[in-house]
Chain A
Protein backbone atom coordinates (compact mmCIF):
# COMPACT_ATOMS: atom_id res chain seq x y z
CA UNK A 1 0.00 0.00 0.00
CA UNK A 2 1.32 3.46 -0.91
CA UNK A 3 1.85 5.45 2.25
CA UNK A 4 3.68 8.50 3.53
CA UNK A 5 4.45 8.58 7.25
CA UNK A 6 5.73 11.68 9.01
CA UNK A 7 7.28 12.15 12.40
CA UNK A 8 7.02 13.66 14.86
CA UNK A 9 3.32 14.48 14.77
CA UNK A 10 4.07 17.79 16.49
CA UNK A 11 7.12 19.61 17.75
CA UNK A 12 7.76 22.62 19.96
CA UNK A 13 11.09 24.43 19.74
CA UNK A 14 12.52 27.75 20.90
CA UNK A 15 13.15 30.52 18.44
CA UNK A 16 16.64 30.31 17.00
CA UNK A 17 16.97 26.55 17.44
CA UNK A 18 17.29 24.01 14.63
CA UNK A 19 14.97 21.06 14.04
CA UNK A 20 14.59 18.10 11.72
CA UNK A 21 11.35 16.59 10.47
CA UNK A 22 11.15 13.05 9.09
CA UNK A 23 9.25 11.45 6.23
CA UNK A 24 9.18 7.74 5.34
CA UNK A 25 7.35 6.53 2.28
CA UNK A 26 6.40 3.32 0.51
CA UNK A 27 5.13 4.91 -2.71
CA UNK A 28 6.32 3.04 -5.77
CA UNK A 29 7.40 3.65 -8.46
CA UNK A 30 8.86 6.90 -7.18
CA UNK A 31 8.82 10.11 -9.21
CA UNK A 32 9.47 12.98 -6.83
CA UNK A 33 9.12 14.15 -3.25
CA UNK A 34 8.06 17.58 -2.12
CA UNK A 35 7.91 19.35 1.19
CA UNK A 36 5.11 21.86 1.64
CA UNK A 37 4.59 24.45 4.38
CA UNK A 38 1.00 25.08 5.39
CA UNK A 39 0.10 28.00 7.62
CA UNK A 40 -3.09 27.67 9.65
CA UNK A 41 -6.14 28.26 7.49
CA UNK A 42 -4.12 28.56 4.29
CA UNK A 43 -3.25 26.31 1.37
CA UNK A 44 0.11 24.48 1.28
CA UNK A 45 3.09 26.23 -0.31
CA UNK A 46 5.94 24.26 -1.88
CA UNK A 47 9.35 24.50 -0.19
CA UNK A 48 11.45 21.94 -2.09
CA UNK A 49 11.13 19.21 -4.68
CA UNK A 50 13.53 16.32 -5.21
CA UNK A 51 13.70 13.63 -7.84
CA UNK A 52 15.27 10.19 -7.56
CA UNK A 53 18.77 11.40 -8.39
CA UNK A 54 18.84 14.28 -5.92
CA UNK A 55 19.79 13.73 -2.30
CA UNK A 56 19.76 17.28 -0.95
CA UNK A 57 18.15 20.56 -1.80
CA UNK A 58 18.09 23.88 0.05
CA UNK A 59 15.69 26.78 0.09
CA UNK A 60 16.98 29.45 2.43
CA UNK A 61 16.91 28.09 5.97
CA UNK A 62 15.17 24.89 4.79
CA UNK A 63 17.26 21.92 3.66
CA UNK A 64 15.65 18.71 2.47
CA UNK A 65 17.42 15.38 2.08
CA UNK A 66 16.34 12.26 0.25
CA UNK A 67 17.57 8.68 0.52
CA UNK A 68 15.79 6.83 -2.26
CA UNK A 69 17.26 3.51 -1.17
CA UNK A 70 15.76 3.61 2.31
CA UNK A 71 12.77 5.71 1.13
CA UNK A 72 13.37 8.38 3.72
CA UNK A 73 13.44 12.15 3.57
CA UNK A 74 14.09 14.84 6.13
CA UNK A 75 13.48 18.57 6.31
CA UNK A 76 15.97 20.52 8.39
CA UNK A 77 15.10 24.03 9.55
CA UNK A 78 17.98 26.20 10.67
CA UNK A 79 17.77 29.12 13.09
CA UNK A 80 14.00 28.84 13.45
CA UNK A 81 11.80 31.91 13.45
CA UNK A 82 8.34 32.48 14.88
CA UNK A 83 7.00 32.55 11.32
CA UNK A 84 8.15 28.95 10.84
CA UNK A 85 5.23 27.85 13.02
CA UNK A 86 3.12 25.83 10.59
CA UNK A 87 2.41 22.32 9.38
CA UNK A 88 5.04 20.73 7.15
CA UNK A 89 3.68 18.17 4.74
CA UNK A 90 5.69 15.56 2.85
CA UNK A 91 4.21 14.65 -0.53
CA UNK A 92 5.35 11.78 -2.76
CA UNK A 93 4.34 11.40 -6.39
CA UNK A 94 4.48 8.17 -8.34
CA UNK A 95 5.14 8.07 -12.07
CA UNK A 96 2.79 5.19 -12.71
CA UNK A 97 -0.16 5.65 -15.04
CA UNK A 98 -2.96 7.69 -13.53
CA UNK A 99 -2.84 10.14 -10.69
CA UNK A 100 -0.89 9.06 -7.64
CA UNK A 101 0.20 11.76 -5.27
CA UNK A 102 0.23 10.75 -1.64
CA UNK A 103 0.24 13.31 1.17
CA UNK A 104 1.59 12.72 4.64
CA UNK A 105 -0.43 13.88 7.63
CA UNK A 106 2.13 16.59 8.34
CA UNK A 107 4.24 17.67 11.31
CA UNK A 108 2.87 20.57 13.29
CA UNK A 109 5.75 22.84 14.31
CA UNK A 110 5.40 25.44 17.05
CA UNK A 111 8.23 27.95 17.44
CA UNK A 112 8.14 29.79 20.76
CA UNK A 113 9.86 33.03 21.71
Chain B
Protein backbone atom coordinates (compact mmCIF):
# COMPACT_ATOMS: atom_id res chain seq x y z
CA UNK B 1 0.00 0.00 0.00
CA UNK B 2 1.87 3.01 -1.27
CA UNK B 3 -0.75 5.70 -0.93
CA UNK B 4 -4.32 6.81 -1.42
CA UNK B 5 -5.91 5.48 -4.59
CA UNK B 6 -8.99 6.74 -6.40
CA UNK B 7 -11.07 5.24 -9.16
CA UNK B 8 -11.88 6.07 -11.81
CA UNK B 9 -9.28 8.71 -12.67
CA UNK B 10 -11.57 10.28 -15.25
CA UNK B 11 -15.33 10.15 -15.73
CA UNK B 12 -17.37 11.74 -18.49
CA UNK B 13 -21.12 11.62 -18.08
CA UNK B 14 -24.25 13.23 -19.43
CA UNK B 15 -26.27 15.65 -17.37
CA UNK B 16 -28.83 13.86 -15.23
CA UNK B 17 -26.86 10.64 -14.85
CA UNK B 18 -25.61 9.27 -11.54
CA UNK B 19 -21.91 8.70 -10.91
CA UNK B 20 -19.99 6.98 -8.12
CA UNK B 21 -16.35 7.41 -7.20
CA UNK B 22 -14.25 5.21 -4.97
CA UNK B 23 -11.40 6.06 -2.61
CA UNK B 24 -9.05 3.59 -0.92
CA UNK B 25 -7.12 5.30 1.88
CA UNK B 26 -3.74 4.37 3.34
CA UNK B 27 -4.51 1.24 5.32
CA UNK B 28 -3.74 2.44 8.84
CA UNK B 29 -5.45 5.82 8.38
CA UNK B 30 -8.87 5.96 9.98
CA UNK B 31 -9.75 9.48 8.83
CA UNK B 32 -10.91 9.97 5.26
CA UNK B 33 -11.81 13.24 3.55
CA UNK B 34 -13.50 14.25 0.30
CA UNK B 35 -12.79 17.53 -1.45
CA UNK B 36 -13.88 19.18 -4.67
CA UNK B 37 -11.48 21.32 -6.68
CA UNK B 38 -12.28 23.50 -9.66
CA UNK B 39 -9.74 25.00 -12.03
CA UNK B 40 -7.54 27.64 -10.42
CA UNK B 41 -8.94 27.08 -6.95
CA UNK B 42 -7.80 25.22 -3.87
CA UNK B 43 -9.66 22.11 -2.70
CA UNK B 44 -13.02 22.74 -1.02
CA UNK B 45 -13.98 20.50 1.87
CA UNK B 46 -17.01 18.26 1.30
CA UNK B 47 -17.08 15.73 4.13
CA UNK B 48 -14.96 13.54 6.36
CA UNK B 49 -15.16 10.22 8.16
CA UNK B 50 -13.52 8.81 11.22
CA UNK B 51 -13.73 5.08 10.72
CA UNK B 52 -17.25 4.48 9.40
CA UNK B 53 -18.78 7.54 11.04
CA UNK B 54 -19.40 10.61 8.88
CA UNK B 55 -18.50 13.37 11.32
CA UNK B 56 -18.95 16.52 9.29
CA UNK B 57 -20.49 17.62 6.02
CA UNK B 58 -20.03 20.91 4.22
CA UNK B 59 -22.99 22.94 3.04
CA UNK B 60 -21.49 22.32 -0.41
CA UNK B 61 -22.68 18.73 -0.11
CA UNK B 62 -26.17 19.10 -1.51
CA UNK B 63 -28.87 16.45 -1.29
CA UNK B 64 -27.64 15.02 -4.60
CA UNK B 65 -24.32 14.09 -2.99
CA UNK B 66 -23.87 11.17 -0.63
CA UNK B 67 -20.75 9.61 0.80
CA UNK B 68 -20.36 6.32 2.59
CA UNK B 69 -17.63 4.40 4.32
CA UNK B 70 -19.47 1.25 5.37
CA UNK B 71 -16.61 -0.74 6.85
CA UNK B 72 -14.31 2.08 7.82
CA UNK B 73 -11.93 1.31 4.98
CA UNK B 74 -12.75 2.44 1.41
CA UNK B 75 -15.26 5.18 0.75
CA UNK B 76 -17.62 6.03 -2.09
CA UNK B 77 -18.93 9.40 -3.19
CA UNK B 78 -22.12 9.33 -5.27
CA UNK B 79 -23.56 12.23 -7.20
CA UNK B 80 -27.14 11.82 -8.37
CA UNK B 81 -28.70 13.69 -11.28
CA UNK B 82 -25.43 15.31 -12.24
CA UNK B 83 -25.35 18.92 -13.38
CA UNK B 84 -22.76 20.72 -15.46
CA UNK B 85 -21.70 22.63 -12.36
CA UNK B 86 -20.58 19.35 -10.80
CA UNK B 87 -17.69 19.18 -13.26
CA UNK B 88 -14.56 19.30 -11.11
CA UNK B 89 -11.73 17.25 -9.68
CA UNK B 90 -12.85 15.19 -6.70
CA UNK B 91 -10.02 14.55 -4.29
CA UNK B 92 -9.83 12.06 -1.47
CA UNK B 93 -7.36 12.26 1.40
CA UNK B 94 -6.66 10.21 4.50
CA UNK B 95 -4.89 10.82 7.79
CA UNK B 96 -4.24 9.45 11.22
CA UNK B 97 -6.41 10.96 13.99
CA UNK B 98 -3.38 11.96 16.07
CA UNK B 99 -0.16 13.87 15.61
CA UNK B 100 -0.07 16.50 12.91
CA UNK B 101 -3.18 15.15 11.13
CA UNK B 102 -1.28 15.44 7.86
CA UNK B 103 -3.59 14.57 5.00
CA UNK B 104 -2.27 12.41 2.20
CA UNK B 105 -4.11 12.97 -1.05
CA UNK B 106 -5.05 10.62 -3.82
CA UNK B 107 -4.65 11.50 -7.51
CA UNK B 108 -8.26 12.60 -7.81
CA UNK B 109 -11.15 11.76 -10.11
CA UNK B 110 -11.77 14.28 -12.88
CA UNK B 111 -15.53 14.53 -13.57
CA UNK B 112 -16.84 16.12 -16.74
CA UNK B 113 -20.60 16.54 -17.07
CA UNK B 114 -21.74 17.22 -20.63
Chain A residues engaging chain B, CB cutoff 8 angstroms: 4, 32, 34, 36, 41-46, 49, 51, 89, 91, 93, 98-99, 101, 103-106, 108
Contact = CB atoms under 8 A, between A and B. Distances in A.
Nearest to B40: A105
19 contacts: A32-B100, A34-B102, A36-B105, A43-B4, A43-B105, A44-B43, A45-B105, A46-B104, A49-B102, A89-B42, A89-B43, A91-B42, A98-B55, A98-B56, A99-B55, A101-B103, A103-B35, A105-B40, A105-B41
Interface in B32-55: 35, 40-45, 48, 55
Given A99-B56, A103-B43, A44 B101 contact: no
Interface of B: 4, 35, 40-45, 48, 55-56, 89, 91, 93, 100-108, 110
A30 to B, nearest CB: 14
A55 B42 CA distance: 24
Contacts, number: 53
Given A46-B102, A49-B102, A103 B42 contact: yes
A99 B54 CA distance: 11
B42 A43 contact: no
Contact of B40 (A51, A91, A103, A108): A108
B56 A41 contact: no
Nearest to B9: A41
A7 to B, nearest CB: 13
A92 to B, nearest CB: 11
Contacts of B100: 32, 49, 51
Contact of A43 (B45, B55, B91): B91
A53 B95 CA distance: 23
Nearest to A43: B105
